Structure 1
Amino acid sequence: MTRPPTAAQRRVIDAADPVTGRVKGTEAQLDALVKRGLAFRHPRPPHDHFLTPAGHRIREAVAEVPEKPAVAAVADSGVFAARVGGEEEAPDTGPTRVREVHSAWQGLLELRRMTNPDGATDRPCGWERTHLVQAAALALEAAEHRPQGGDLPGYRVRATPQPEAVAVHAPDAEVLRACAATLEGAGWQVGEYTEPRTRARYLLASPRRL
């Protein structure tokens, strides 16, 4: 059984950038994380270190709470969290939130550039494939779509039983089509479907590979 990271290593993991997964520490700490498969050294200069999916799982390990909407970041961590929709309070749309979303989206594009083998920024990267709900919600919020919150209608992003797919729900067909266009522009494959029981339309979106 793999030993858990040391307290010093855990502090390095916990301090990683919440979007890009970039980690900073001493050379010995970073080498130890690489050996454990919790981080990797980027082959291109400046050869920064980033968390692997296993490292992200350790950083974001929280107990699952049934009947709760999927969340986009560690609860109560104080870091940026994309709005997935369905929150009890109306979403914050003030200038501070707009700046946070813009910064997070630019960070994600940089992560694509640094971790996709060809440096492409128009195609989702490995982090997005392990954080599907968070990644799709960030793409929507960065395009200024409004998440559902309080009594206000808007999009909702939810996990699905299908591998590498999320469901996006919206109050009407026009909003749903706009969300589909945004996700396609962000490098996702999107299809529109009908829920058999309620006849409600929804999107099924998966990160594009090529």
Structure 2
Amino acid sequence: MTGRESPEAAGFEPATGAEAVPVAGTPERAAAVRDAFEALLRIRDVVNSGAGDPRATPAEWERVRMVRAVALALEAAGIAPSALDERGQRTATGYCVTAGDHPQVVRVEWPGPRGSGAGHEAERALHGCARVLGELGWVVLEYRGKGGRRYLEVEAPSTIRR
């Protein structure tokens, strides 16, 4: 990716944790994530230039691609994504970002392979995810779902120009 391309234009896809194979872990991947995240911050600088700290508020680009933007933020922070095998079985413990139940909301969970103890790690891990996303201006709320499983709901603040 050159300095002028957006993450989307270059075909970069952040790890959502729902991929059929792990995508993280190589120096090439780390460089691509770093470049994509820097491009996202440059987008914020341009479109939020009238704000106090332009990098502290998600840009419109992020708001309409929330799963990608939230996944990119988590991957850029060095948080491990979950992964699936070809049969759809979890092979790695980590974050999983999906569309939420409501428009403009994404869900972040902390799944892992059966017997991995991911449920025991979830509170601490999701607090780390919430901290990263909160520092980037996202509104993050923690909930408990079926069986007491923790998850986050992430949305853009109401200050975003629509």
Provide TM-score, normalisation by structure 2: 0.78
Distance 1:20 1:115 in 2: 17
**Could you say which structure has the larger radius of gyration?**
1
Cα separation, 2, equivalents of 1:86 and 1:159: 12
Contact residue 6 and residue 39 of structure 2 kept, 8 A: no
Residue number in structure 1 paired with 2:93: 153
Equivalent residue pairs, number: 138
Closer/same/farther in 2, CA of residues 20 and 156 from structure 1, 3 Å limit: closer
Superposition map of 1:135-154 within 5 A: 135-150=69-84, 151-154=91-94
Equivalent position amino acid for 2:101 in 1: P
Counterparts of 1:157 and 1:112, CA distance in 2: 21
Shift of 1:209: 4.2
- Cα distance in structure 2, aligned partners of 1:136 and 1:158: 10
Match of 1:168 among 90, 99, 108: 108
**Relative contact order: is structure 1 or structure 2 higher (C-alpha 8 Å, sep ≥ 6)?**
2
The 8 Å contact of residues 73 and 132 in structure 2, kept in 1 or not, is answered as yes
Letter matched to residue 169 of structure 1: E
Contact 1:91 1:148 in 2 (8 A): no
Residue 117 of structure 1: CA displacement? 5.0
Contact 2:142/2:153, CA 8 A, preserved across alignment: yes
Q: Give the deviation of 1:201 after TM superposition.
A: 0.7
Check if 1:19 corresponds to 2:7: yes
Partner of 1:192: 142
- 1:115 alignment partner in structure 2: 47
Letter in 2 for 1:191: L
What amino acid sits opposite 1:143 in the alignment?
A
Tell me the amino acid that sits aligned with residue 201 of structure 1. R
Distance, in Å, in 1 between the alignment partners of 2:24 and 2:64 is 26
1:1-210, aligned counterparts within 5 Å? 17-19=5-7, 79-118=11-50, 120-150=54-84, 151-170=91-110, 171=118, 172-195=122-145, 197-210=146-159
What is the one-letter code of the residue matched to 2:124? E
1:191/1:203 contact within 8 Å kept: yes
What is the root-mean-square deviation of aligned Cα atoms in Å? 1.9
Identity %: 32
- Cα distance between partner residues in 1 of 2:156 and 2:45: 15
CA–CA distance in structure 2, aligned partners of residues 183 and 129 of structure 1: 13
Letter in 1 for 2:45: R
- Alpha-carbon distance in 2 for matches of 1:116, 1:86: 31
